[in-house]
Amino acid sequence: MKITTEILENLFTNFLQFITNKDNQPFREFKTSKFVDNTENYKYSVYDEARENLGQKWWKYEDIGTGKIQQSISSAIKTRVNHNFQMVDNNLVDWRKKGRLF
């Protein structure tokens, strides 16, 4: 399918209508939409928490082969966060297929 300005404008109009229906108010920006916040903005929390769990700034050369780095990576991949009073799993990285490694 060839992307055209008309297609993009129609899709954006549909998006605006969808968000307006979900939020019961006109869409202004992503960070102020309740629907977007509930369904998408948890990703910022997952990213921040996973980076903290990874803790790569504290890794040392001597840690290689001790399991410390692997444990940090596993913790980062399996990060869960509380967003809008709900626990949300890290779905940004599909770690299930890699679970055998951890």
66 falls in which pLDDT band (50, 70, 90)?
A: very high
| H helices present in the chain, as ranges | 5-23, 34-39, 42-54, 68-77
| N- to C-terminal Cα separation, the chain | 41
Which of 2-11, 16-25, 30-39 bottoms out in mean pLDDT, i.e. has the lowest? 30-39
Amino acid at 45: S
Its pTM surpasses 0.75: no
CA–CA separation, 33 and 26 (whole Å): 9
| 3-class SS of residue 25 | coil
Q: Which residue has the higher pLDDT, 80 or 19?
A: 19
Q: Which two tokens stand for residue 83?
A: 């967003």
pLDDT of residue 68: 93
27 CB contacts (<8 Å, ≥6 apart)?
15, 16, 19, 20, 33
Q: Among 22, 24, 72, 79, which Cα is nearest to 46's?
A: 79
Tell whether the model's pLDDT for residue 39 goes beyond 90.
no
